[in-house]
């Protein structure tokens, strides 16, 4: 009877398997050796660690082993024994070999030498097979799981908000249109505009920039919800921190004020970072060693220190007094750039900072107006190396004030009547925020380009794979 495959992570961690016959399957990382014995490092993606397979040339011919090159795929049955050599605790003494697929050394792009991250971005279809991307993708999974666990354990309900929408949540107009109209032959209204009544949904639609507005509908019914889904922004920002398609996590909680919201955000990030440190240890240690020797220290620092909480107005005073020459000059009223955020976090406080109470002009229409009439109850969480990792606020719960703001900004009522109904019928104080999932993955992996923490990045001029 054929024996069942064991994953390499289990082979390496279950000491009761030593002395038994195992079946392992995976992709070859390297082969080396001499005319008596050949050593193959096999990886199956279940762990960053390779399993050493030993081929005794008394049992296998050169001809049989010849197709075993980097990237080829194998099934090996053999006995698991304690290893004599350095670098591994156990190894498989091969008895049976099946080669599933070869990988021509002339054309397989991932040969053993270290490749640059830029090179690997061009090979995004194969880069998950490298140590670095294997580690990043396993950490990404672990963080996604931590997010669901955090909210589920606290009684939040996972709400799926639509990806196709007729409203612009952030009011920034950076939306991708969704249409089935023939772009070479557009139907026109009498005044020459595109006639969207003939489009698929009978109106103009786009991909969502945020699930928040629908999230508020959920929160004002279920009490506490979170979304976790793809978000699309057609901003032409070619930076190491922006994607055109990214994943956002948006909790929304009825009866929470801005302080509760800050507490939730801080607990949430700390939980996720701690969960990753405990559950993706090997991968984080690998990245710490390969890319950034202070990664683990930085992660522990975030877990163990309170975030600074500071009004925007105070933050501006600190920036003005810093004597630093910023590329974008600062004064009260400007939107903060990444250089300003990072100055506050990395140089001034040396801690994560939650900046609150921003000028209403630079924030979205739904934020609660403060008594000063100038600032809103916004809160951005600013992180070392990342800048803004979370953006959120207490929401304006007053129907009259919200409507006034909508009119002030000329937001069309036809898009907003349903949202305003939350304030017409049983309105309550409530708050929420959005965490950019890839920015969290950036922080936890220590990678420096957001294109390297999502399997298939979408950025301006790039939708390959």
Q: Contact positions toward ligand 4AD, by CB under 6 A?
A: 169-170, 210, 212, 233, 235, 242-243, 246, 248, 250, 388-392, 432-434, 436, 438-439
Helix (H) or strand (E) holding 147: helix 131-153
Residue nearer to ligand 4AD on the CB measure, 233 or 340: 233
Main-chain phi, psi angles of 69, to 5 degrees: -120, 170
Structure tokens at 67: 């197709």
Question: Which residue lies nearer to ligand 4AD by CB, 212 or 445?
Answer: 212
Number of residues that bind Mg ion (CB under 5 A): 1
- Segment interacting with Mg ion, rule: CB under 5 A, options 118-126, 279-287, 353-361, 383-391: 383-391
Residue 151: partners with Cβ closer than 8 Å, 6 or more residues away: 158, 224, 226, 251
Residue with tokens 């209204």: 189
First to last CA, the chain: 40
| Binding-residue pattern over the window 229 to 248 for Mg ion, x denoting contact by CB under 5 A | --------------------
Tokens 């005044």 found at: 191
Residue 434 interacts with, from ligand 4AD, Mg ion, none (CB under 5-8 Å by kind): ligand 4AD
392 binds Mg ion, rule: CB under 5 A: no
CA neighbor of 90 nearest in space, from 54, 128, 124: 54
> Whose CB is nearest to Mg ion?
391
Which residues 6+ apart lie within 8 Å of 69 measured at CB? 28, 31, 102, 103, 104, 105, 108
**Cβ 264 to ligand 4AD, closest distance in Å?**
12
For residue 272, the minimal CB distance to ligand 4AD (Å) is: 13
Q: CA 439 → CA 4, 63, 134, 385, 443, distances in Å?
A: 39, 49, 18, 10, 6
Phi, psi (5° rounding) for residue 347? -105, -45
Q: How far is the CB of 298 from ligand 4AD (least distance, A)?
A: 18
Please report how close the Cβ of residue 248 comes to Mg ion at its closest, in angstroms: 11
DSSP string for 219-255: HHHHSEEEEEEEEE------STT--SEEEEEEEEEET
Q: Which one of ligand 4AD, Mg ion, none is in contact with 138 (Cβ closer than 5 to 8 A by kind)?
A: none
CA 271 – CA 285 distance, rounded (Å): 19
Asked whether position 391 contacts Mg ion by CB under 5 A, the answer is yes
Q: Which does 439 bind (CB under 5 to 8 A by kind): Mg ion, ligand 4AD, none?
A: ligand 4AD
Which conformational region is residue 419 in: left (phi greater than 0), alpha (psi within -120 to 50 degrees), or beta? alpha
Measured from the CB atom, is 8 or 336 closer to Mg ion? 336
- The answer to whether 78 touches 95, Cβ cutoff 8 Å, is yes
Q: Which is nearer to ligand 4AD, 243 or 258 (CB)?
A: 243
Residue 231 tokens, joined: 């978000």
Tell me the β-bridge partners of 40: 31, 53
Q: How far is the CB of 233 from Mg ion (least distance, A)?
A: 11
| CB half-sphere exposure, 339, CA atoms < 13 A | 9
CB of 436 to Mg ion, least distance (A): 9
Name the residue nearer to Mg ion (CB basis): 53 or 169. Answer: 169
- 3-class SS of residue 79: strand
**Which of Mg ion, ligand 4AD, none sits in contact with 430, Cβ below 5 to 8 A by type?**
none
Taking the least distance from each CB to ligand 4AD, the nearer of 54 and 219 is 219
Which CB, 235 or 285, lies closer to ligand 4AD? 235
Q: In angstroms, give the least distance from the CB of 309 to ligand 4AD.
A: 17
Nearer to Mg ion, 110 or 316 (CB): 316
Tell me the closest approach of the beta carbon of residue 193 to ligand 4AD, in angstroms.
28
Question: Which chain residues interact with Mg ion by CB under 5 A?
Answer: 391
């Amino acid at each position: 009877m054929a024996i069942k495959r064991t994953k390499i992570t289990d082979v390496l961690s279950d000491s009761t398997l030593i002395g038994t016959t195992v079946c392992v399957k995976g992709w070859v990382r390297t082969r080396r050796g001499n005319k008596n014995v050949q050593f193959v490092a096999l990886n199956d993606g279940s762990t960053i660690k390779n399993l050493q397979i030993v081929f005794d040339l008394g049992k296998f011919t050169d001809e049989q082993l010849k197709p075993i090159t980097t990237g080829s795929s194998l099934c090996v049955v053999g006995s698991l024994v304690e290893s004599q050599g350095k670098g591994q605790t156990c190894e498989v003494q091969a008895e049976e070999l099946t080669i599933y697929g070869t990988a021509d050394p002339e054309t397989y792009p991932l040969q053993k030498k270290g490749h640059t991250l830029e090179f690997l971005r061009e090979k995004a279809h194969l880069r998950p097979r490298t140590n670095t991307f294997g580690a990043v993708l396993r950490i990404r999974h672990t963080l996604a799981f931590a997010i669901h666990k955090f909210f589920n354990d606290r009684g939040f309900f996972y709400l799926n908000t639509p990806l196709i929408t007729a409203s612009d949540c952030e009011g920034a107009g950076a939306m991708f249109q969704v249409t089935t109209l023939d772009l070479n032959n557009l139907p026109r209204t009498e005044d020459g505009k595109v006639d969207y009544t003939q489009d698929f949904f009978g109106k103009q639609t786009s991909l969502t920039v945020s699930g928040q507005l629908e999230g508020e509908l959920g929160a004002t019914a279920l009490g506490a919800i979170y979304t976790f889904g793809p978000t699309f922004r057609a901003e032409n920002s070619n930076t190491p921190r922006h994607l055109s398609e990214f994943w956002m996590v948006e909790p929304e909680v009825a009866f929470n004020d801005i302080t509760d919201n800050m507490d939730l955000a801080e607990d949430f990030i700390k939980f996720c970072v701690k969960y990753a440190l405990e559950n993706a240890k090997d991968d984080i240690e690998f990245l710490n060693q390969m890319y950034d020797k202070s990664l683990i220290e930085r992660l522990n620092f975030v877990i163990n220190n309170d975030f600074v909480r500071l009004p925007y107005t105070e933050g501006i005073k600190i920036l003005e007094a810093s004597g630093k020459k910023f590329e974008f000059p600062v004064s009260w009223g400007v939107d903060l750039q990444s250089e300003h955020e990072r100055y506050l976090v990395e140089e001034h406080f040396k801690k994560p900072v939650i900046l609150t109470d921003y000028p209403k002009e630079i924030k979205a229409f739904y934020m609660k107006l403060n008594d000063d009439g100038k600032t809103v109850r916004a809160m951005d969480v600013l992180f070392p190396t990342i800048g803004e990792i979370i953006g959120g606020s207490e929401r304006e719960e007053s129907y009259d004030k919200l409507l006034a703001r909508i009119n002030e900004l000329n937001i069309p009522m036809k898009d907003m009547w349903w949202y305003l109904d939350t304030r017409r019928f049983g309105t309550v104080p409530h708050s929420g925020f959005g965490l950019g999932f890839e920015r969290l993955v950036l922080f936890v992996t220590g990678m420096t380009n957001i294109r390297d923490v999502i399997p298939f990045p979408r950025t301006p001029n790039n939708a390959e794979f």
